Amino acid sequence: MPWQEVNVMTLRREFVELAAQEGANVSELCRRYEISRKTGYKWLGRGGAGSGRAAALQDRSRRPLHCPQQTEAALEREVVKLRLRHPCWGGRKIAWRLAELGQAPLTPSTVTRILHRHGLIEPEASERAAPVKRFEHERPNAMWQMDFKGTFQTLAGSCLPLTVLDDHSRFNLVLNANACTDTASVKPLLVQAFERYGLPVRINTDNGPPWGAPSAVEAGLTELTIWMIRLGIRVSHSRPAHPQTNGKIERFHQTLKKEVLAARHFADHAQVQRSFDTWRTTYNCERPHEALGGRTPAQRFTPSPWHLPACLPEIHYPATDTVVIVGCNGVIRFQGRRWQVCRALRRLPIGLRPDPNVDGRFDAYFCHHKFMSLDLASNTVQT
């Protein structure tokens, strides 16, 4: 008969009593109790005698008495402490940060096992983990991404954090608790960033204010983007309904939400800003970034060689361009016709350049920035 869990100890003791008798056929008893001869002799050897026999027949732990590769208790405590301090950090970030702090090296998988052992990883988090294909510019300051984080409420009113991120290094250049999204609120923050970090080659934004325009005729030009273009910066906009174009800053917003904003309430913008300033240092200088191979953004970022000028440079166009001044209502006159171009360019010169591939078409430039085309054949503008 097979051994059942409910009476296994009884059967073991019974087997030992019978097999220990003088002249007992151990092989036959093993067959009848449906165990191997190896198992039978194991229990017979443990059987002992008297009151100690029952204890000797209990199952013994197969856990090794010692494990030379087991993580030291002190190092395991450091893993747990770092996870509790940064609940959103996974095995890789914690392993990289411990190495940065001079601790004994641990593999990410070892850190993950420690976190599982201490109940610090939810099953849902493991399911969400998946490799991501990333694209990045080759050098710092080749492109900055700029956007507003979604609105949240404080007791003093709505907060709309302005964020600027370097595409190559993921270095956070601006993190400010804004109350408004107008040019007057954003421009001083960009001036401060340009003075500290220099000018980028390009800044990419979405199509909302203050750097986009809801009307197509404005060609994405606003007071703020015109100022950046005059500084020599190339301004580009994400395609509407395609936030992945600014994917790194969208991912940054997720991290900001999880590590700073989630389940927290703030009295006013000043309190939000204090939390931002503390976390920004951690993000830039301490938090290992998976996309950077465990390096921090600060270890990969370098300031730009181009400085913010004291005043805006003069506007120049090639001699082959036809230069016209935009009227107060955003209208120009060209080739005997009236064209609506951009109200934000009022009183500023633009250059009209013949399209070498299409007869009767002229590309409209503001400084280096092409913002529309004038088609004389159809009397239309294209942005």
Q: Which CATH superfamily is domain 144-300 in?
A: Ribonuclease H-like superfamily/Ribonuclease H (3.30.420.10)
pLDDT at 80: 84
Query: What pLDDT band is residue 114 in, cutting at 50, 70 and 90?
Result: confident
Kindly state the tokens that stand for 144.
């900055």
Task: Name the nearest CA neighbour of 199 among 223, 249, 234, 169.
Answer: 234
pLDDT digits (tens, 9 = 90+) for 200-259: 999 999 888 888 765 545 777 999 999 999 999 999 988 765 555 578 999 999 999 999
Distance CA 70, CA 110 (A): 10
Query: What pLDDT band is residue 51 in, cutting at 50, 70 and 90?
Result: very low
pLDDT digits (tens, 9 = 90+) for 290-312: 888 888 999 999 999 999 999 99
Give the ranges where 140-268 is alpha helix by DSSP (H): 183-197, 223-230, 247-256
pLDDT > 70: what percent of the chain? 85
Higher pLDDT, 22 or 5: 22
The average pLDDT across 133-150 equals 84
pLDDT at 383: 78
Q: Is 61 helix (H, G, I), strand (E, B) or coil?
A: coil
Residue 151 DSSP one-character state: P
pLDDT at 115: 83
Higher pLDDT, 218 or 275: 275
Task: Name the nearest CA neighbour of 235 among 244, 250, 224.
Answer: 224
pLDDT at 92: 82
Query: What pLDDT band is residue 3 in, cutting at 50, 70 and 90?
Result: very low
Residue 111 DSSP one-character state: H
pLDDT exceeds 70 at position 376:
yes
pLDDT at 202: 95
pLDDT at 15: 81
The residue type of 112 is T
The residues spanned by each domain of the chain are 5-56, 75-128, 144-300, 322-382
Query: What pLDDT band is residue 10 in, cutting at 50, 70 and 90?
Result: confident
pLDDT at 132: 44
pLDDT digits (tens, 9 = 90+) for 115-133: 887 777 765 555 455 444 4
pTM for the model stands at 0.69
pLDDT at 274: 96
CA distances from 48 to 33, 36, 51, 57, 58 (A): 20, 20, 9, 9, 12
**Which residues have CB under 8 Å from 62's CB, separation 6+?**
none
Query: What pLDDT band is residue 1 in, cutting at 50, 70 and 90?
Result: very low
Q: Is 254 helix (H, G, I), strand (E, B) or coil?
A: helix
